[in-house]
Amino acid sequence: MANHANKTTNLVPVYGIIISVIAIALSIIFYVTNYYDTLWTGFMIGAVIFIGVLLSVVNYNNNHHERTNAAAMFGMGFRTTVFSVIIISIFSIILHLIATSGTHAMPTTANNGDQVAGQGNFWIYFLGQTVFMNMTMGVLAAALGAFVFKRNQTTPSAR
């Protein structure tokens, strides 16, 4: 029985890597097509994280034959969220450094004089979109998965 528990606990990196690879692939597609700076691309990556964490929590519950508690399910989703957000954050910083390596430190401007969001405001975008929103979406998915897909929910006073 302990072997089975260790096998499912070690799936956190697997879920996190799968979610990260999908999010990174979308980021590369958005960057190549010059849509990386638009707002809806961040929502797409947030949706990938939300759905991925939700599926990981449901799969974790199924691997434990639906006998796990809500706190363990939430913990699984939270660990998956943190793992995937760390990988996506590292990739975002590397992509930013690669994209701006040939340019000078001054932010670039578009033809109409507006500042390009991907260069001058990278750290605001990084902290707001990549870290905060993705963590929020993952935590919401973990909580939703833990409390919705828990079978035979009882309150402590009903036992």
**Which tokens is 40 given?**
């809806």
| pLDDT at residue number 135 | 95
Distance CA 55, CA 74 (A): 12
Model confidence at 72: pLDDT above 50: yes
CB 145 within 8 A of CB 58: yes
Give Cβ neighbours of residue 130 (< 8 Å, ≥ 6 apart). Answer: 42, 85, 88, 89, 92
Look at the block and give the residue holding tokens 């991907």.
118
Distance CA 142, CA 57 (A): 7
Question: For the chain, what are the domain ranges?
Answer: 2-99+114-151
**Which tokens is 48 given?**
């990938």
Model confidence at 80: pLDDT above 70: yes
**Model confidence at 32, in pLDDT bands (50, 70, 90)?**
confident
**Model confidence at 108, in pLDDT bands (50, 70, 90)?**
very low
CB 148 within 8 A of CB 156: no
Which one, of 126, 145, 139, lies nearest residue 42 by Cα? 126
CA atoms within 13 A on the CB side of 108: 11
Which one, of 12, 23, 110, 8, lies nearest residue 67 by Cα? 8
| pLDDT at residue number 65 | 79
CB-count burial class (<10 Å; 0-12, 13-18, 19+) for 34? exposed
